[in-house]
Amino acid sequence: MGGVASLLSIFSGSLSFVCTVSSLCTDCWQINSKGSVVLSMRCRGLWGECVWDKFVKIWTCDVFSSYLNPHPAAIILTRASLITSAVAGIGAFLCLLLGCRYFSCCWDLTAKYRCLCLSVGFYFFAGFMSSIGVIRYCVYVFFQHQYEVSLRIPGFPSFEYGYSLWMAVAGNLAALAAAFTVCYEVRRMKTPSTNPANEHAGNGLGMMRTYV
């Protein structure tokens, strides 16, 4: 069971980092709704806006003139939260590898235990920061969409949640899953085995207990 938990934690941690970085790179957090009468697909992101022209088959992107200009608070908060979550995810994954029982860099059980504890903290922090950014941006898009629909302007594009937002949600859930999985490994490492004869035979990390 310990090997399965280690593999799940590594997979969840990798998925969390990949999804979080992909959500920042693809930058399509809002997409024009299907009910909009438009002749192109528009994507709004944290760094700019892109348009796909259906006639000429060309993407044209317009980034913000300056990242220091005043922007909606939701965009600033989401940027900071996702970047912080990605950085914390890197630290969590490195600590996870160092604390993994099958990683031969360090055989000291105490050091591995501390690395796993740090990994749990980093993953919970990464999930928390990602949750703040995603929830705030979802609320921002919801109210913006309601306002655009209420205008009832023919051909005016209203925007809904884009695929980059769902990538960020997947990264958030994967970070929390990794945190709980590593937490299980920590509890399992802390609890002594009930078998006095042999504990984790063959991996070099078990403790032999004999009773007289």
pLDDT in tens, 2-60: 578 788 889 999 999 999 999 999 888 988 866 544 567 788 888 888 887 777 778 78
Quick check: is 136 in a domain?
A: yes
Domain span at residue 27 reads 2-190
Q: Find the angle CA(47)-CA(52)-CA(53) to the nearest 5 degrees.
A: 145
Tens digits of pLDDT across the chain (212 residues): 557 878 888 999 999 999 999 999 988 898 886 654 456 778 888 888 888 777 777 878 777 666 556 678 888 889 999 999 999 999 999 998 888 776 666 567 788 888 889 999 999 999 999 999 999 999 988 887 777 667 766 555 667 888 999 999 999 999 999 999 998 888 877 665 444 444 444 444 444 333 33
For residue 135, the model assigns a pLDDT of 93
Quick check: is 84 in a domain?
A: yes
State how far the Cα of 81 lies from the Cα of 126, in Å rounded to an integer.
9
- Supply φ then ψ for residue 43, to 5 degrees: -125, 125
Quick check: is 206 in a domain?
A: no
Quick check: is 163 in a domain?
A: yes
Quick check: is 200 in a domain?
A: no
CATH number of the domain at 82, please. 1.20.140.150
For residue 165, the model assigns a pLDDT of 92
For residue 196, the model assigns a pLDDT of 41
Inter-CA distances, 212 with 35, 36, 196, 209, Å: 78, 79, 11, 10
Quick check: is 124 in a domain?
A: yes
Total domain count, the chain: 1
Quick check: is 201 in a domain?
A: no
> What are 187's two structure tokens?
């509890």
Quick check: is 64 in a domain?
A: yes
